[in-house]
A and B are shown apart, each in its own frame.
Chain A
Amino acid sequence: MAGVRCGDDVSEYLSQNPQLAQWIESFRGYCESNKQWSARREFILRNMEAFPTVKPGTCSSSLDRLLSLSMVWANHVFLGCSYPQAVMDKIKDMGEGIVVQDPPVHKTTKDGITARGKRSAPDDGNPEGCVKRSRTEADSRPSGRAAARSAIQKSGPPPQAPAEQQPFFNRLYKAVAWKLVSAGGFGPNLDHFEILRSCVESCKQTVTCVFVPLKDIEGLPAGRTQKDGHVCEIRCQTVYMGTGYGRDEAAAKAMASKEALKVFQGRKVTVKICRRRYRGREVEDLVLLDELPRTQGFPPALSYPFQDEPQDEVVSPRGGKAGPWTLIEKCWTPRRIMFMS
């Protein structure tokens, strides 16, 4: 059988091999829609060569294994199931290159959904009593989206992300406000990072800091003599909050936290999708804003959690306008991504 082929080729191939087509058709599940079946059929055909003992027209345990893996793949793509790591690794390779249009998106139990309302007295529709829905549910929803899919998809934050994130940041806003009250107000002499971290933790989430050494960033504006130092970008729940620079990582982090806390000084905070530069190109990013109009743009992004591409890909030269921190040729990777617990 030939190598990689796409959907059209599959049907063409099958029309040339009617017996094979018929045999394969017998594996279609009663409940599979056309779309699901054609994707899974492609998976089976592409991988048949890996199972040499599979002979068309006969049943065997290796055929069953192939069918089982095809179901694992299909269940993963269409139902949102995930399996033990070894199994997932297997199907990841096997399913490469298969394009599925608009795969469904699901919230799985890892997103804390089972914590949503315990099995209280079965008075459904009556949420009184002590049932409170889990807070982690809403907050971890976007992470469900980042589940590995071999389908190619658009990069960028999903359009509904701001609405989903807003409640969490409203809560965070309150937490920060109270924290600052007890700290005596926002000022230069606070441990900004600690304040931010503890507030985020009280809302049961984590802060993500990405560090990049200054010298790794190309195209810095002229006049910057110090090449030593670090830049830190702070995100929470993939929403960008602030960037800071300092001699060492701690200083960079502190400055970034201070910038982040500044956002909370307004009357409210809003999560929005804005354009920023990331590695020399314009991207859509999730950003936390206060209510004041933003005069200047954002500093370039150091991390971009909305795509599948690995971070250390070589970016080909764009040859476009050189702007602040535009990456020309060299690639840089964030040295350390610290997840603060």
Chain B
Amino acid sequence: MSSTFSQSPWAIETREVSRVYQTYVKPEGLANSLKGFWKRQHKDKIALQATTLQIPKGQIVGLVGANGAGKTTLLKVLSGLVRPSSGEARVLGFNPAERDSRFLRQISILLGQKNQLWWDLTPHDSYALLAEIYDLDKTAAKKRVHDLAEILNCTHVLETQLRRLSLGERMKMEIIGALLHEPEVLYLDEPTIGLDIVAQSSIRKFLEEYVALKKPTVILTSHYMDDIAKLADRLLLISQGSMVYDGTVEGFTRKTESKKLLRFSLAEPLAAALPIMNLHTLPAGEQNLSLQVTNEELAPVLSKITSLSGVKDITIDERDFEDVIREFLEKESRLLPSRGAHQP
């Protein structure tokens, strides 16, 4: 296949790259199971719409979207795990689908929900194996493991079987494994998922320092806003397999304008609908109420509410990141599928 890419200045570049999966549709019941022996229905699911993007060397890109939006599919295409149904991709000048060993030596993919080291081995044994696989100098690899483990504060678990480590310790081990060969391109798929706040913060801080020092090109997916805000130079929002936002994190924050959720109760239900500052209206007959307000609206609205008789239990919550993303994606695309959509 002749390439339309020539001497690309980009670390990662795609042109109209898409991926469609075919799935088998089986209606409920035994009769339909038997029918499936000779007649099967299939349907196509577009996991990634035609996507064109360029990522320069050293840029940290945050890739955000709902479950099933196409984030992981894009990472799989860019790492050579799956072939695109159409279009072309180039990473460091290589076609990922060819899985050239020179390409594979320069990338690393960290899947936060999967073990990539050997479950039955100690991290030390796994790293020795990885050093062989990547043709690394054994002494240099050992030193690198030691240095990374020191920074991550986990030298004490290097000789314990992976299966016996906590989730946070395992993730640290996976990170060392992913960085051992100093990849030029790093795909981080939910690196902090399921971790407690301390472990999240520790890994985030480590990655922040690592990318500042080594300057790899990174694509990071995460459901945690802090991961994206602290690490990413650029934000890509993906919905139903399409890019719906490509810009800076600051631009995104300005666009979505952070809102707060104000909840309170009244001693008696409201007798009639009550307008608040011509911005909101509290419905009649309700006793437990909530309002979404901007930072600017918060003080005057709060003042108005506290002046009501019998008001109690006032709470102010930051909205969940998922809700902010969902609202944004709904506004941008009007296409967001229901939560928990199946990931192919």
A binds B: no
* B residues adjacent to A (C-beta < 8 A): none
Which residues of A approach B to under 8 Å, CB–CB? Answer: none
